[in-house]
Amino acid sequence: MIILFFTGMGAIDCRAQNLVIQSVDGSENSKELSSVEKLTFSNNNLLLSYLGGTSDSYSLPTIRKIVFKQASSGSGGTLLNDDARKITVYPNPATDKISIKNAPEGAFILSVYHLDGAMVIRTQVKSGKDPVDVSALAKGIYLIKINNQASTFSKL
What mean pLDDT comes out for the span 57-69?
A: 87
DSSP states of 24-70 as a string? TTS-EEEEEGGGEEEEEEETTEEEEEETTS-EEEEEGGGEEEEEEEP
| Rounded CA separation 28/30 (Å) | 6
| pLDDT score of 71 | 58
Give me the chain's average pLDDT, please. Answer: 80
User: Going from the N-terminus, what domains does the chain have, and what CATH number goes with each?
Assistant: 2-77 (2.30.30.100), 88-155 (2.60.40.3080)
* Residues counted in the chain: 156
Residue 144: count other Cβ atoms within 10 Å of its Cβ: 21
CA 42 from chain centre, in angstroms, equals 17
Residue 61: count other Cβ atoms within 10 Å of its Cβ: 11
Checking if the pLDDT of 90 tops 90, the result is: yes
**49-53, 105-109, 140-144: least confidently modelled range:** 49-53
| pLDDT score of 97 | 96
- Of the pLDDT bands very low, low, confident and very high (cuts 50, 70, 90), residue 4 is very low
Higher per-residue confidence, 138 vs 8: 138
| Rounded CA separation 145/76 (Å) | 31
- Of the pLDDT bands very low, low, confident and very high (cuts 50, 70, 90), residue 75 is very low
What mean pLDDT comes out for the span 83-112?
A: 89
| Rounded CA separation 141/121 (Å) | 14
3-state helix, strand, coil in the chain (%, to 5): 15, 50, 40
* pLDDT tens column, 118-147: 899 999 999 888 999 999 999 999 999 998
